[in-house]
Amino acid sequence: QEKPPVLINLLVCGGGNGAHVLTGLASSRHNVKVNVLSLFADEAERWRNTLGDNHFVVNFREKDGTNKIITSRPNMITNDPSRAVPGCNLVIFTVPAFAHEGYFRAIAPYLEPNTVIVGLPSQPGFQFQCCDLLGLGGRTSAIVSFESLPWACRIGTFGREVQVLGPKDTLACAIIMRGCKTLFPILPTIQYIIGKEPKLTLAANYLSINLLADSVVHPPMMYGTWKDWDGQPVAEKPLFYQGLNEFSADLLDKVSTELVHTAQAIQQKYPEMDMKDVIHLFDWYKLNYKESIQDMSNLQMAMKTCSAYDGMVHPMKETPDGKFMPDFNYRYMTEDIPFGMVVFRGIAQLEGVPTPAMDETLTWGQKILGKEFLVDGEL
């Protein structure tokens, strides 16, 4: 890839898996200077201290199974937006959606005009928050929203080493320019930063990205796995994608169909809204993971035989006697229900599309979370 025509001052917001990978990859690129801003507890200080004078390592598993070791160092890791933000011309959010508002408010006073703001991924509603919370500096910010993270990844040693288990094949985003005058081409620059895979593509509009987001997958899988759970600890952590049961796969199929129907209803009502990017989850897997999947016979088998998911387990908490309980405070529930599925359900409700599968998932999920989103079949 061509390197960008100007120095990219990149601000990475976050400190988790995705932020680790992005920081490592971006810091290794020429003409890219990386500041990391983490507002979570003492995460920035822990990362700084753990890294010390060492190199940060990304252990990148390529599609062909070979491993590439990428070493680099970011320019700065801090929890202080007044140090991290000034001068940045590209800001990438790699934090859970419930934290987005805090970061928007923190960076707003220091944001310079014509900055590019990226949600990687950008749960449904990211664009609205951006417009709402970024104040004056944000008025000329371009907003880029990606449908999901570019890689399956996990931290090896916090602050030192992260593993990429596999990149996706392609990844779609929507760009809202809002009069932003950038000195660099947006998509090629983000592609340069993350590397050759996944291949980044442009979706037709931001609503279609909303209806494609990752958060359609996790809640039905959590529900399908734990709906009949007796509350007792289990002996081992169940596999997440590769342990997908028939009930969950069937529910995912139905939820995905409801989203496709919603997109079709929007397109019918507003013909100028091109919703062709909203495709069924099974078709999405065929497109995005075709090289990693052994058995494409149906959605359940495609998810169970996807090598990018090797060994990924359910989010669990260990009990004192070495058994495991499901962790319902994990982002699959706390983020993907309120900031994902509830938003989808709202868009479907506006279009008058019936959503029995989403409703079934939400009814269980809200009970677990102690929230009320859906009352008597209405949001």
Tens-place pLDDT, residues 65-117: 899 999 999 999 999 999 999 999 999 999 988 899 999 999 999 999 999 99
Strand pairing class (151-157; 161-167): antiparallel
Look at 126 and 144; give whichever has higher pLDDT: 144
Residue 228: is it exposed, middle or buried by C-beta count within 10 angstroms (0-12/13-18/19+)?
Answer: exposed
Among 20, 55, 100, 218, the active-site one is: 218
Does 218 participate in catalysis according to the annotation? yes
The pLDDT confidence band at residue 227, using thresholds 50, 70 and 90, is: very high
**pLDDT(371) > 70:** yes
Look-up of token digits 């359609």 = 216
The pLDDT confidence band at residue 136, using thresholds 50, 70 and 90, is: confident
Stretch 280-296: mean pLDDT: 90
Confidence at residue 213, expressed as pLDDT on a 0 to 100 scale: 64
- Contact 6/90 with Cβ under 8 angstroms? no
**pLDDT(148) > 90:** no
**pLDDT(315) > 90:** yes
Confidence at residue 299, expressed as pLDDT on a 0 to 100 scale: 95
Tens-place pLDDT, residues 193-222: 999 999 999 988 888 877 766 678 999 999
Tens-place pLDDT, residues 179-189: 899 999 999 99
Confidence at residue 327, expressed as pLDDT on a 0 to 100 scale: 96
pTM (global) more than 0.75: yes
Confidence at residue 289, expressed as pLDDT on a 0 to 100 scale: 86
Instruction: Of 120, 176, 116, 190, give the one whose Cα is nearest residue 148.
Output: 120
Cα separation of 99 and 89, whole Å? 21
The pLDDT confidence band at residue 47, using thresholds 50, 70 and 90, is: very high
Across the chain, what does the average pLDDT equal?
93
CA angle 154–47–187, rounded 5-degree value: 60
pLDDT above 90 covers what percent of the chain?
76
Lowest-confidence region among 210-214, 224-228, 266-270: 210-214
Residues near 71 by beta carbon (within 8 Å), at least 6 away in sequence: 28, 55, 56, 57, 58
Cis peptide before 121 (omega within 30 of 0): yes
The pLDDT confidence band at residue 277, using thresholds 50, 70 and 90, is: confident
Confidence at residue 65, expressed as pLDDT on a 0 to 100 scale: 85
Domains in the chain and their CATH numbers?
Answer: 8-202 (3.40.50.720), 210-369 (1.10.1040.10)
What are the φ/ψ torsions at residue 193 (nearest 5 degrees)? -70, -45
Confidence at residue 26, expressed as pLDDT on a 0 to 100 scale: 98
